Amino acid sequence: DTAVSQTPKYLVTQMGNDKSIKCEQNLGHDTMYWYKQDSKKFLKIMFSYNNKELIINETVPNRFSPKSPDKAHLNLHINSLELGDSAVYFCASSLTSESGYTFGSGTRLTVV
């Protein structure tokens, strides 16, 4: 019944590795997002897709590559992980501008 689900919930990996985070929503929303929350709880948008098309691409290192195979899924692949990538990554989806976003429970990424 989970509306926006992310996997994995926790991810611990070494510097230089490549990892992926998956997100799925069953709400029928057209737009999905990735946000990064740093250690001070600050939330910053990274990417947004509308019906599989990239519509927002903030200033994010090109080591980060989102992929949306269909409008219900938005995955985030990260190459050559760095210590500074450690954060909580949230996936979200929305139906309209007025509806607000529905967030997943987050993926805590720790790079050691």
Partner 1 sequence: AQSVTQPDIHITVSEGASLELRCNYSYGATPYLFWYVQSPGQGLQLLLKYFSGDTLVQGIKGFEAEFKRSQSSFNLRKPSVHWSDAAEYFCAVARFSGGYNKLIFGAGTRLAVHP
State how far Cα 47 lies from the chain centre: 8
Count of chain residues binding partner 1 (CB under 8 A): 24
Q: Rule CB under 8 A: say whether 4 interacts with partner 1.
A: yes
Tokens of 112: 């050691």
Q: Which residues contact 87 (CB under 8 A, 6 or more apart)?
A: 36, 37, 38, 39, 108, 109
The owner of tokens 């996997």 is 7
Stretch that binds partner 1, among 11-19, 42-50, 62-70, 71-79 (CB under 8 A): 42-50
Q: How far apart are CB 63 and partner 1 at their closest, in Å?
A: 21
Q: Which residues lie near partner 1 (CB under 8 A)?
A: 4, 31, 33, 40-45, 48, 50, 55-56, 90, 92, 97-98, 100-106
